[in-house]
């Protein structure tokens, strides 16, 4: 594109390459600058209870009747049909391990009015592949879940490519994947992708303490050690692991999106960084 002496742009003769933008395209218009200069926790989530935010817990199922969970919006399971297809259907199996209920309870403790969606991908249908995981994640995006809690990872490289595609679709489609980093020194996915919010544990006791990691691939550390969580049969147990740190970040994401529903995943990540406990005034 060339500039005339009057400073006006002239239309080029040729088409722009794919994915480019003409400056007179509506997408080039000025966008409202809605953020204050200082992004702090008060701005980010004060007064929010997560209302209006759909949170999918992609895990072992959820016991919706547990007092710490307090009801589910919907529960589905991904199962393999007789002809080998993965299918999403309503699920009344509850929780097969306890883990999904634990994560749901943590999210609820932050965002009591968020909607919890249980997407069960673990269980009998899971053996032999990651098809259930991929199908469940895709389904959660299609339902418009704004936050997807994923305390799982897979070391399978062929699955990683498919996961990457789904994670990117989520990122651009307005669903935030909050994914557990591996607790061991293992290369697994999707937490290593830049399009997700990846979480590992710190050993502090404050549920609202989370740290931004300037040295990724793990981007955030949240409370993950010695936490009382909901478990099977309406019990509570003490548990530890990055999964639970992840559920803390999911809860905080739900709070922020409850107050600022228009934030894109990329903006949300920035808000998380600005409100991290280890940010200090320059």
Binding mask 43-82 for other proteins (x = CB under 8 A): ----------------xx----------------------
Q: Residue 27, class by beta-carbon neighbours within 10 Å (0-12 exposed, 13-18 middle, 19+ buried)?
A: exposed
Give me the least distance between CB of 79 and other proteins, in Å please: 12
- In this chain, which of 45, 126, 171, 177 binds other proteins, going by CB under 8 A? 126
C-alpha of 7 from chain center: 45
- In this chain, which of 8, 27, 37, 127 binds other proteins, going by CB under 8 A? 127
Which DSSP helix (H) or strand (E) runs through 178?
strand 176-180
For tokens 């990846």, the residue is 198
Closest CA to 102 of 243, 247, 229: 229
**Count of residues near other proteins by CB under 8 A:** 43
- In this chain, which of 124, 172, 173, 216 binds other proteins, going by CB under 8 A? 124
- In this chain, which of 41, 113, 182, 273 binds other proteins, going by CB under 8 A? 182
Give me the least distance between CB of 182 and other proteins, in Å please: 7
Q: Which residues pair with 117 in a beta bridge?
A: 56, 74
Integer Cα distance of 40 and 52 in angstroms: 22
For tokens 């909050």, the residue is 178
Give me the least distance between CB of 277 and other proteins, in Å please: 16
**Three-class secondary structure of residue 137 per DSSP:** helix
Q: Does 151 bind other proteins (CB under 8 A)?
A: yes
Q: Does 101 bind other proteins (CB under 8 A)?
A: no
Q: Does 203 bind other proteins (CB under 8 A)?
A: yes
Q: Would you tell me the crossing angle of helices 265-274 and 242-259 to the nearest 10 degrees?
A: 110
Give me the least distance between CB of 59 and other proteins, in Å please: 8
Q: Does 26 bind other proteins (CB under 8 A)?
A: no
H helical segments located in 16-98: 41-45
Of 87 and 236, which has the nearer Cβ to other proteins? 236
Q: Residue 13, class by beta-carbon neighbours within 10 Å (0-12 exposed, 13-18 middle, 19+ buried)?
A: exposed
Of 51 and 240, which has the nearer Cβ to other proteins? 240
**Three-class secondary structure of residue 100 per DSSP:** helix
Integer Cα distance of 191 and 168 in angstroms: 12
* Residues 210-229 within binding reach of other proteins (CB under 8 A): 225-226
Q: Does 198 bind other proteins (CB under 8 A)?
A: no
Give me the least distance between CB of 87 and other proteins, in Å please: 18
Integer Cα distance of 2 and 15 in angstroms: 14
Q: Does 120 bind other proteins (CB under 8 A)?
A: no
Q: Give the binding site for other proteins (CB under 8 A).
A: 59-60, 96-99, 122-124, 126-128, 151-157, 180, 182-186, 188, 201-203, 225-226, 231-233, 235-243
């Amino acid at each position: 594109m060339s500039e005339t002496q009057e400073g006006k742009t002239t239309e080029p003769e040729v088409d722009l390459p794919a994915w480019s933008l003409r400056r007179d395209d509506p997408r080039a218009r000025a966008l409202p600058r809605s953020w204050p200069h200082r992004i702090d926790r008060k701005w980010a989530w004060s007064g929010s209870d997560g209302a209006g935010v759909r949170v999918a817990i992609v895990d072992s199922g959820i016991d919706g009747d547990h007092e710490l969970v307090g009801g589910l919006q919907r529960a589905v399971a991904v199962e393999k049909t007789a002809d080998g297809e993965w299918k999403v259907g309503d699920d009344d199996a509850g929780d097969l391990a306890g883990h999904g209920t634990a994560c749901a309870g943590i999210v609820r403790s932050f965002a009591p009015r968020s909607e919890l969606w249980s997407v069960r991908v673990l269980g009998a249908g899971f053996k032999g592949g990651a098809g259930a995981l991929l199908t469940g994640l895709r389904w959660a995006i299609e339902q418009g879940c704004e936050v997807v809690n994923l305390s799982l990872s897979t070391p399978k490289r062929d699955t990683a490519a498919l996961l990457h595609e789904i994670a990117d679709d989520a990122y651009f489609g307005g669903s935030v994947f909050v994914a557990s980093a591996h607790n061991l020194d293992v290369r697994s996915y999707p937490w290593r992708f830049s399009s997700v919010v990846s979480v590992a544990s710190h050993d502090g006791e404050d549920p609202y303490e989370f740290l931004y990691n300037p040295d990724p691939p793990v981007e955030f550390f949240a409370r993950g050690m010695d936490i009382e969580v909901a478990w099977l049969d309406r019990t509570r147990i003490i548990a530890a692991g990055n999964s639970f740190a992840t559920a803390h970040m999911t809860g905080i994401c739900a709070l922020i999106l409850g107050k600022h529903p228009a934030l894109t995943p990329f903006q949300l990540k920035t808000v998380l960084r600005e409100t991290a406990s280890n940010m200090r005034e320059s």
